[in-house]
Structure 1
């Protein structure tokens, strides 16, 4: 009976043995792949660190060679290398052997004075336990030597993967520099892989020691293998079918959700887990609430838009009624001074109406008031209401495609109105040049300038500014929060205004 049972269980034993051997072989291949990734990663990290320092040093030596280096360059370079490379030492010399910049520590031995400008660009110094790199200026008059100690090289080349009992060695021809040693060296096999650095004549070699084979380890590999595999397979099947797959499908449904839709995730997900079903119902209820709230917000927004249109329409009509009443009173006046006063008031009401009309036109796109359209319409209105002796007054406009808020548009319109009216009084047969140019130094600024022969400095100009226009212009400049610059010789006013970027 014992013999029969042994022969019956023999196939299971052979299967377990073959599986264990395959697992050991796979582990070895995985270890080799991990070692290859680790040494490649370490070589790349070390190359990137050296290239970063080389770039900083190249810029510095070029600046020193050309005489463009400032007094703080050495300090910045020392701070950069100290921050990036703990333990790195650098020394910069010219062809005469003068030290231009250096670390406070003494320079390690290994590079003779006459060999400072020689090749190669990188050199191993096994006796001094350093890796030294050379960076020469473009004209070859300045050189920078950087010394990297073992501690720094090990820190940079340390791979992200957890490889135990490893050794890192840098090689350059017959030169070898061991930068890290294994924590414990035991007899047994070892695996080594190499990767080249930049410069390519330096090779980084990583060696790992294989742990010794013990009886306990061999037993642990053979005995529980079949039971572990069966339990893992059954567990994975149950969890994947009943938990992971339903959750993945639920996540895909939720990820594809668009605001305004109503989720029905449980129509696609089939699972006996009541918790997942409850989670799907919760997502559906949340989507219903979001859809309801978005519909209400859209309806409220449309109502608010209609109310805003109505308010703007009524304000525009009221301004037109006021302008018409002023025009009627002006027609009934017989005194020339009263007629001019009515016309002046009407011009300011028209200016406010123009601002409001342009603001209402741009309200739907929420871009603000267009400066070019505002000044063009305002200029046409001012010429239409100009006094009879100033009907030939010309207005030239040069404006970039800019937009301003209503808070800026109102004082701008009044400022243009005041200065155009003042120029019409002083030089009715002249012209006015209005320019609005974007400030290249600031995206949210533009310069409004107005120039006319009538605005040139004169006694009559000073009297009008003192009696009437000066206080108004000062108040408008305060509203725009910028000084109003005046050039009396050129007859030019200029002020900075805020635009919508």
Structure 2
């Protein structure tokens, strides 16, 4: 409906607008022609007035420059200029020595230096003193005469016969500019029309500017009335379409965009629209959201059940490992051979290490963050010291670890790796100590560096034998599970390996 109303009324509005623009263009052409006639007429009048006064001044200067010149000619020149200029006509005649021969009784306007009286153009604008001066030299070059024209006189002479409102006359000569009309009023600004005509001498240009009529609200409304009517009809159509169709669709889109799984959509609960298609669409979204909410509840219930089963599995595994560790401990008490006792203790340490991993994983299961590195190493160190051989009861373990988390697949080989290294260090240096550090790798959120350092892990003949017999193969197998090389610093007694962490 909105498109039909818009397209139906737009051609009529455009036709009326083109007709109005054509009428305005015709009026502008007529105004330009009238302005051209007026500026041409003003330039001719001003040129004729300057030429007549210049001729009279030239006759006077030549008469005074000739031998036995008549002195009374100055009075006749003054009478002639006064008849043309209501301000009295200002003229001055000088010889080469700078002496005034005759002239008007009022002081000469400022603007021409004494040294420049015989130099310069025949006509010159003096914007500072608001005068136009006409310069005439005698034929023999002995005398020079000046005729000054005030701004008021120039305006009265150049006033066009046509009645042009808001006009402004300006004389220009090079960079010099003098406004000869509207001296006290503000200059014409904004939209205006200007035309120019040259005077004689041709380096002076007369410019007439006429301000265009202001664009009033009534004039703009009369010009754009067809488009205003078209816009009003389009606005009414838009209001109807917006209320009946667009607004319900926008509210429906916002409701769908703000939808969260598990909610039930009621997009058109506060909106009434006669469009049955939109109502049906809203009902469809409501039914879909109800189905999704039902499935979400079922999935949440299934996830909770699976979480409980997983907790139960870890709990049972932990209990089974504790039972195995207790059985090993009972068998170790009945053994009398030191080698058998040490073998039982070695097996128990590894079972305890696996139990520690399951216990820490069970503790972090609710937050789904993985196994904490710091509590895992701390509990493992305490368990290893508790099951240490008698000669290594005072073996010290220092832990320096960042707050990092690892998966269970990484925690199990790390626990076994630390168990092997601690057992090896206790065996080679029972009275020594060990430092275990875990630091995150810079610029890599998913990697960390595990380092183990102890004096018992330094290169020695006994360590070479133990590595060759058993520990070397185990450490190599665990590093393969961690998918990283295990570096050994034999001189410092340290092992380092890069492990994966949960970012």
1:397 matched to 2:399? The reply is yes
Q: Distance in 1 between matches of 2:450 and 2:235?
A: 78
In 1, the alpha carbon distance for the partners of 2:433 and 2:340 equals 25
Match of 2:330 in 1: 328
The answer for the alignment partner of 1:238 in structure 2 is: 240
| Counterpart Cα distance in 1 of 2:256 and 2:485 | 56
Give the conservation status (yes or no) of the 8 Å contact 2:396–2:433: yes
1:266 aligns with 2:295: no
Distance in structure 1 (CA, Å) of the matches to 2:418 and 2:405: 16
The correspondence of residues 292-371 of structure 1 with structure 2, limited to 5 A, is: 292-371=294-373
The structure, 1 or 2, with the larger RCO (C-alpha pairs under 8 Å, 6+ apart) is 2
1:463 aligned to which of 443, 462, 465: 465
Partners of 1:336 and 1:360 in 2: how far apart?
36
Partners of 1:482 and 1:284 in 2: how far apart? 53
1:435 matched to 2:475: no
Question: 1:481 matched to which residue of 2?
Answer: 483
The alignment partner of 2:498 has SS state of: strand
Checking the alignment, whether the CA contact within 8 Å between 1:250 and 1:269 is kept in structure 2 is: no
Rounded to whole Å, the distance in 2 between the matches of 1:241 and 1:435 is 68
Contact 1:350 / 1:381 at 8 angstroms: preserved in 2? yes
CA 20–415 in structure 1, closer or farther in 2 if over 3 Å, else same: same
CA distances 1:401-439 after superposition (whole Å, capped 9, x unpaired): 221111111111111111111111111111112122222
Compute the displacement of 1:499 (Å): 1.6
Larger Rg: 2
Structure 1 residue 226: deviation in Å?
A: 8.0
User: Using the alignment, how far apart are the partners of 1:320 and 1:230 within structure 2?
Assistant: 86
| 1:172-230 per-position Cα deviation (integer Å, ceiling 9, x unaligned) | xxxxxxxxxxxxxxxxx999xxxxxxxxxxxxxxxxxxxxxxxxxxxxx8896587457
**Distance (whole Å) between structure 2 residues aligned to residue 441 and residue 266 of structure 1:** 51
5+ residue gaps, structure 2, are 1-12, 22-190, 194-222
Find the residue that maps to 2:444 and give its secondary structure: coil
Closer, same or farther: CA 272–459 of 1 in aligned 2, 3 Å: same
1:447-462 matches, within 5 Å, as: 447-462=449-464
The change in CA–CA distance for 1:241 and 1:325 in structure 2 (over 3 A counts) is same
- For residues 448 and 232 of structure 2, what CA distance do their matches in structure 1 show? 76
Offset of 1:20 from its aligned partner?
A: 6.1
Asked if 1:415 corresponds to 2:414, the answer is no
Query: Does 1:282 find its partner at 2:284?
Result: yes
Q: Distance in 2 between matches of 1:230 and 1:442?
A: 64
Q: How many residues align?
A: 293
In structure 2, relative to structure 1, the CA distance for the partners of 1:490 and 1:20 (3 Å cut) is: same
Q: Distance in 2 between matches of 1:243 and 1:257?
A: 21
- Checking the alignment, whether the CA contact within 8 Å between 1:370 and 1:404 is kept in structure 2 is yes
TM-score normalised to the size of structure 2?
0.54
Q: 1: distance between equivalents of 2:358 and 2:436?
A: 21
Residues of 2 paired with 1:320 and 1:226: CA distance?
Answer: 90
Classify 1:230/1:333 alpha carbon distance in 2 versus 1 (closer, same or farther; 3 Å). Answer: closer
For 2:420 and 2:244, the matched residues in 1 are separated by 80
Which of 490, 493, 502 aligns to 1:491? It is 493
Pair 437,244 (structure 1): closer, same or farther in 2 beyond 3 Å = closer
CA distance in 1, matches of 2:287, 2:428: 74
5+ residue gaps in structure 1? 1-15, 25-188, 192-220
* 1:232 to partner: Cα distance: 3.0
Q: Is the 8 A contact 2:248 2:268 kept in 1?
A: no
Shift in Å, 1:255: 4.0
Question: 1:443 deviation in Å?
Answer: 2.4
- Partners of 2:249 and 2:443 lie apart in 1 by 54
Post-superposition offset of 1:264 = 2.3
Distance 1:224 1:470, change over 3 A: same
Residue 348 of structure 1: how far off its partner (Å): 0.3
Once the 2 structures are TM-superposed, how far is the Cα of residue 295 of structure 1 from its aligned partner? 1.0
Output one character per residue of 1:345-392: Cα deviation in whole Å (capped at 9) or x when no partner.
Answer: 000000111111111111211222111111111111011001111111
Instruction: Summarize the Cα distance change of 1:326–1:248 in structure 2 as closer, same or farther, 3 Å threshold.
Output: same
SS of residue matched to 1:449: strand
Question: Compared with structure 1, are the counterparts of its residues 276 and 429 closer, same or farther at alpha carbon in structure 2 (3 Å cutoff)?
Answer: same
Counterpart Cα distance in 2 of 1:311 and 1:447: 31
